[in-house]
């Protein structure tokens, strides 16, 4: 049990809450599209009321597919985090904020973390094999993005955007799992995730501005300073808000969706308001609490709007 707890801590399993709700959004939009056709949603809601509720739409095979999608989400993110901890272990050992992490503190051996990464990569590919050929053939591309992110801090301050790109694969990937084809609506959500995640990762990186400079590592705060970094973060969060608004307009969603938008955008405003260049004491509150509420509540409203 202690070993399991250590590995869950290594990969910050609780942070799965950021991308997982958007994967569910992509999955249920794909489910809706497969059963009732694509946009506009607003014209299809009456059809659902006449033909049945969500249970009628959700066949037995879809439960299996949902489990496979969740398996992909968990294993992909686990591989990415474990590899990041493995690759950054020497920097983590030098940074007072991260020196207590499992690898630099000796709780988990580097070789074991790398093996853990490989196992999860193989599981991820295996899950995609059982989903559909498109997801299987795209799985190496997904792994390249999410594992490659760990190298980017060594050569570009745009590393935050690469992290956002990795998490943005969740809604479009889940949609492809159901439909096996691309569509514009889940791409809007993926764009929203890129900007949202990049924005809050910049806030989190404020804590390591001086350390990154001392180690010649790249980040937005290390490149432009805390004040300007927060401006970049705010700009990205404005873009994220615009993308969820564009998705609502394009998809013809109902009032529940727009209630979710209010909560999501409100949490972005909140986290931007509590972090100041000279006061980083509430970075973790902005990072974990605000973003967790934003993603979970937004997903609940979106999915409920689809099937009511």
| 154-188 pLDDT, tens digit each | 999 999 999 999 999 999 999 999 999 999 999 99
pLDDT band at 44 (very low <50, low <70, confident <90, very high): very low
CB atoms within 10 A of CB 279: 9
pLDDT of residue 49: 41
- Is a pLDDT exceeding 90 seen at residue 57? no
Task: CATH number of the domain at 251, please.
Answer: 1.10.357.140
- Is a pLDDT exceeding 60 seen at residue 41? no
Q: What pLDDT digit, counting tens, does each position of 218-244 carry?
A: 999 999 999 999 999 999 999 999 999
Domains held by the chain: number: 1
pLDDT band at 68 (very low <50, low <70, confident <90, very high): very high
- CB-based contact 145:121 (threshold 8 Å): no
- Is a pLDDT exceeding 70 seen at residue 79? yes
Q: Which of 148, 165, 150, 146 is nearest to 217 (CA)?
A: 150
Percent of the chain with pLDDT over 70: 92
pLDDT of residue 19: 86
- Is a pLDDT exceeding 50 seen at residue 124? yes
Query: Residue 89 and residue 85: Cα distance in Å, rounded?
Result: 6
pLDDT band at 13 (very low <50, low <70, confident <90, very high): confident
Average pLDDT value for the chain: 91
State both tokens at 189.
């959500």
Percent of the chain with pLDDT over 90: 77
Looking at residues 201-211, what average pLDDT do you find? 96
State both tokens at 192.
């929203």
Provide the domain limits for residue 162: 2-13+20-306
Q: What pLDDT digit, counting tens, does each position of 19-28 carry?
A: 899 999 999 9
Cα-based distances in Å from 186 to 22, 25, 150, 172: 9, 8, 26, 5
- Which is more confident, 32 or 39? 32
Query: Residue 126 and residue 167: Cα distance in Å, rounded?
Result: 20
Looking at residues 66-71, what average pLDDT do you find? 96
Query: Residue 177 and residue 174: Cα distance in Å, rounded?
Result: 5
Looking at residues 254-273, what average pLDDT do you find? 96
């Amino acid at each position: 049990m202690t070993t399991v707890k250590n590995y869950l801590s290594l990969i910050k399993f609780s942070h799965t809450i950021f991308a997982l709700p958007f994967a569910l959004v992509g999955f249920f939009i794909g489910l809706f599209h497969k059963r009732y056709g694509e946009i506009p949603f607003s014209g299809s809601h009456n059809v659902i009321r006449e033909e049945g509720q969500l249970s009628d739409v959700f066949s037995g095979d879809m439960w299996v597919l949902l489990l496979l999608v969740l398996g992909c989400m968990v294993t992909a993110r686990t591989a990415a985090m474990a590899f990041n901890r493995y690759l950054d272990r020497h920097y983590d050992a030098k940074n007072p904020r991260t020196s207590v992490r499992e690898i630099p503190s000796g709780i988990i051996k580097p070789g074991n973390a790398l093996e853990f990464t490989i196992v999860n990569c193989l599981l991820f590919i295996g899950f995609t094999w059982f989903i559909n050929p498109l997801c299987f053939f795209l799985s190496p591309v997904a792994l390249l993005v999410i594992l490659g992110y760990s190298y980017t801090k060594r050569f570009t301050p745009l590393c935050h955007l690469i992290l956002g790109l990795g998490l943005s694969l969740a809604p479009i990937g889940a949609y492809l799992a159901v439909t096996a084809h691309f569509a514009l609506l889940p791409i809007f959500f993926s764009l929203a995730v890129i900007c949202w995640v990049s924005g809050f990762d910049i806030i989190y990186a404020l804590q390591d501005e001086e350390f990154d400079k001392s180690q010649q590592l790249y980040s937005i705060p290390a490149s432009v300073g805390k004040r300007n970094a927060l401006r970049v973060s705010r700009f990205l969060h404005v873009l994220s808000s615009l993308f969820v608004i564009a998705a609502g307009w394009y998809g013809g969603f109902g009032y529940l969706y727009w209630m979710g938008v209010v909560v999501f955008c409100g949490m972005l405003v909140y986290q931007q308001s509590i972090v100041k260049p000279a006061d980083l004491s509430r970075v973790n509150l902005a990072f974990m609490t605000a973003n967790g509420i934003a993603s979970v509540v937004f997903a609940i409203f979106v999915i409920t709007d689809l099937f009511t």
